[in-house]
Chain A
Amino acid sequence: MRLGPKSTTLLVLAALIALTPVFFPSSFYYRVGSLIFINGLAVTGMVILIGYAGQISLGHAGFAGIGAYSCALMPVHWGVPVLLAAVLGALISAALAWLVGRPILRLKGYYLAVATLGFGILVYMVLMNEAWLTGGPDGTAVPDSGLRDMAKAIGINLKNSEFWYWFCGIVLTIGAWLALNLHDSPTGRALRALHGSEIAARTVGVDVAKYKLQAFVISAVYASVAGSLVALQNQFVTPDIAGYMHSIEWVTMTVLGGAGSVLGAIFGAGILTLLPQVLTRFAEYEQLLLGLIMMLVMIFMRDGLLPQVLRLIRGKDQ
């Protein structure tokens, strides 16, 4: 049996998630792993927006902030169960993305970048300043989700870091599966068409505004779920999750790995999440490196790292 590219991608991803822990010397690595998966999830959403639809957002961390703070605030203030709060957070993010996306997405290029950046910073500002609700810059606690106890109840007894490794890994796999399905669906084709040329897409009857908005809303939901996962795992959240640098990091991960492919972008998320862990001694050079990577990738490898590497390997085969 021959596997299609979609199944291959999913199998590679699942195999990486399942097999990597064999090499983990300590539980700390599970934590880094779950961090990679959470970033990978958000970046998968960015692939839909940047890679499929060719739009940019410099404010997606704002949606992550909404997802995270939903998990923190709703259970405390309205008695909503934590998991339901995560779902509601995703719905709020979707609604908000739809609301701001409609006017914003008429814009192109620079204007879109600045409008989304402004949106993200507004969310961040509210989280910082409304201390009576959000705890301000010090952050706020998130109630226990009870997910691990549920797993225990069905006989899966894992350490905290291990549990979140597997849980985030599963969520990422589902997210990647959905994104890959979208790629070959009529919506995905419409998105890629308008990426190529909006005018050409419109001429053949693609409702450009509608599809751009869809991509924006879907990617906002991915970011929101990623934010919720961070909150649930850490049981604590600070406004930094909605910060400008966080949005930029996600864009960088996306283009570093290759915005056009889900696996590539997750690969990019892996590299950029590992980098600060490996270079702890060079922590002060982190921003310098991030900026350098952004410039170099965009100048020399516009398709991203993974497609470039694959091309090299295939080139040698021939």
Chain B
Amino acid sequence: MSELLQFLFSGLTVGAVYALVALGFTIIYNASDVVNFAQGEFVMLGGMLTVSAYAAGLPLPLAALIAIVVTAGIGVALNKLAIEPARGAPVVSLIIITIGASIFLRGAAQVLFGKQIHRFPSFSGDTPLRIGGATILPQSLWVMAGGIAVFIALYLFFTRTLTGKAVLATSNNRLAAQLVGINTNWVMTLSFALSAAIGALAGVLITPITNTSYDVGIALALKGFAAAMLGGMGNPKGALVGGILLGIIEALTAGYLSSQYKDAAAFVIILLVLFFLPQGLFGARHTERV
């Protein structure tokens, strides 16, 4: 029993990160119909930039803040320089552009930070807490709290603020949103900034546990995508549930089946969801208009 609880704890921790990545996907997908394959690189950048700022002598909270702001800036640059000029391009082109962006960011990180593994200390020490026979790191609680806080903040933003409603309107119908005076280009920029910042926050929270290196982004992007699909593409609630489910499935796979193939769990889920449940758990059915 305590073993299962232990797996659940580790599943919830990584699941919260997948949920944050999936939320990032969802925000950009809703605003622009683009699936941003560079989403995982935002997580990598969040961790890496914090490492550098912290190593330069800044206090950890300030280093993390700087990392998140800079990553948000990179997200905006990605939108302005690569996504906006390609507006109206076929999906295949957009896939290649965002994958190109992900490889570019990865290559830049390799040049700037080197190939070695980096880390910075946990926020509240490394003494594990004992709960019901299992142990959990304080940092894991930070990760879960971060996931929940972001979700609540996004919920309030999208339902209670005018700006949030403008983003929702744009995702519903871009043209109609433009007609009622919403600056949809600005909404795009905001979405990329928001999504990059959320990714970077996930990177800041998880790095003390998993460490980071220049090449962690792609696996995270894929798992975040799997989570978003499991929950239903474009649905924030789905992203949260999908992320946590995926994290738990992965932890159980590693615990009871094979730790070597725990990464395979995400891809098997992607394939199963695509075949049997293409709309995901919470997704809306939609038909293509001709």
Contact = CB atoms under 8 A, between A and B. Distances in A.
B99 interface: yes
B225 interface: yes
A109 B261 CA distance: 27
**Interface residues of A: mostly helix, strand, loop or mixed?**
helix
Nearest to A100: B271
B218 A285 contact: no
B264 A115 contact: no
B111 interface: yes
A100 B272 CA distance: 11
Interface residues of A, number: 45
A299 interface: yes
A114 interface: yes
A50 B111 contact: no
Contacts of B225: 114
Contacts of B108: 288
Given A114-B222, A284-B111, A299-B85, A125 B261 contact: yes
B222 A118 contact: yes
A257 interface: no
A95 interface: no
B89 A302 contact: yes
B100 interface: yes
B101 interface: yes
B129 interface: no
B110 A287 contact: yes
A48 interface: no
B260 A255 contact: no
Contacts of B266: 118
B100 A298 contact: yes
Contacts of B268: 122
A146 interface: no
A199 interface: yes
Nearest to B98: A295
Given A125-B261, A255-B93, A291-B101, 20 more contacts: A55-B92, A103-B274, A104-B274, A109-B92, A111-B274, A113-B95, A114-B270, A118-B266, A118-B270, A119-B267, A245-B103, A255-B96, A287-B104, A287-B110, A290-B100, A290-B103, A291-B103, A291-B104, A292-B100, A298-B100
28 contacts: A58-B95, A103-B271, A104-B274, A107-B278, A109-B91, A110-B35, A110-B91, A110-B95, A111-B274, A113-B37, A113-B95, A114-B222, A114-B225, A122-B267, A125-B260, A125-B263, A129-B261, A199-B288, A245-B103, A251-B99, A284-B111, A287-B107, A290-B103, A291-B100, A291-B102, A294-B100, A298-B96, A298-B100
